[in-house]
A = this chain, B = another copy of it.
Amino acid sequence: MFPRGFASDNNSGVHPAILKAIEEVNNGHTIAYGDDPVTQKAIDRFKQIFGVDIEVFFVFIGSAANVLGLKALTQPHNAIICAETAHINVDECGAPERFTGCKLLSIATTNGKLTVNGIKKHMHGFGFQHHSQPKVISISQVSELGTVYSVDEIRTLADYAHAHGMYLHMDGARLANAAVSLGIGFRAFTRDAGVDVLSFGGTKNGMMYGEAIVFFNQQLAHDFMYTRKQGLQLASKMRYISAQFLAYLQDGQWDSTAKHANTMAQLLAKKVSVIQGVTITQPVQANAVFAIIPREIIPKLQEMYFFYVWDEDRSEVRWMTSWDTSTDDIEKFFALLSELMAGR
């Protein structure tokens, strides 16, 4: 039995309902590579949520959903604008550049969220042949700093992108946490807010593996099946991804787990924020808590709980809650942190 911590929501396991769904499709033979009835049902489920005129492709991981989705939006001479903290910018080992051939243009932000004003720095050189042509604005919802874009913020970016002949891409590795945070359905803050291509995450909210690329503009998905295959993301035994998504998208599943994780983050933040010397640094809008704590406390706390130091210089740490975080986990963590802080 592994202990639970606050390192990342992908350190958690698989939700029992997801595992059960996997077991249920594990019988007999079915055609490989996605032409099976389970996959068809899973795609239909996405269409119920987002509208029938979409295209959906399953891949293995979020980085692949991002990179292949961005490939569908760009030519190699394009540039992709993103936050300096964006997963595509700092956590994918250059895969976006390598697979798309594009340049990434990053923007420093205070809260992980892009704004039109921030983007303007890179909005020049259009039509100048020496210059990588900006073509995509990519945002993460939830952002890497645990903040959530409002529908209006997204729509403003989408309108701005479209007015400049560009696309809006959304990295939704924690899309369910955002939906719960906003209190609205997936469609309202993605397709209806102007997003063109969405990475729809599942792994961080209780799935084993599997993410979806959702194209709200079907034209952009033209030939995408080849891109997925050439991008090494076509599963042979696809039914096991599809079954997970079917279970995940069932009423009560994704939202209850995401709601739980968000609630746990609120609880964690509430509790630790009362400790003298602990400063919460970002609004807690989803399942992440960013905090500055005394430098000497960190290694002691990490003896019991693995988590990431976000910013060495500021002594800022990141604690993630998960679908399986318990109030007891938080109580114990709080107790240890309190004790360590008191013992300084």
Residues of A within 8 A of B (CB): 1-5, 7-8, 10-14, 19, 22-23, 25-33, 36, 60-64, 67, 75-79, 90-95, 97-99, 101-104, 124-125, 129-133, 203-204, 208-209, 223, 225-237, 240, 306, 312, 322, 324
A227 to B234 CA separation, bound complex (whole angstroms): 19
Q: Besides A10-B32, A19-B23, A130-B229, 6 other CB < 8 A contacts?
A: A1-B28, A31-B306, A61-B232, A63-B229, A77-B226, A231-B232
Number of copies: 4
Query: Out of B7, B62, B229, which one reaches A31, CB within 8 Å?
Result: B7
- Tell me the interface secondary structure of chain A in the complex: loop
A93 and B229 form a contact (CB under 8 A) = yes
B26 and A236 form a contact (CB under 8 A) = no
Shortest Cβ distance from residue A122 to the other chain B in the assembled complex, whole angstroms: 11
Which residue of chain B lies nearest to A322 when distances are taken between CB atoms in the complex? Answer: B29
Query: Out of B29, B94, B104, which one reaches A11, CB within 8 Å?
Result: B29
Given known contacts A2-B30, A77-B226, A229-B129, A10 and B237 CB-to-CB distance under 8 angstroms: yes
B26 and A19 form a contact (CB under 8 A) = yes
A33 and B306 form a contact (CB under 8 A) = no
A22 to B207 CA separation, bound complex (whole angstroms): 13
A61 and B235 form a contact (CB under 8 A) = yes
Which residue of chain B lies nearest to A4 when distances are taken between CB atoms in the complex? Answer: B29
Shortest Cβ distance from residue A21 to the other chain B in the assembled complex, whole angstroms: 12
A101 and B97 form a contact (CB under 8 A) = yes
Given known contacts A11-B29, A28-B1, A240-B208, A232 and B95 CB-to-CB distance under 8 angstroms: yes
Query: Out of B36, B90, B132, which one reaches A131, CB within 8 Å?
Result: B90
Interface centre among A36, A62, A92 (most CB of B within 10 A): A92
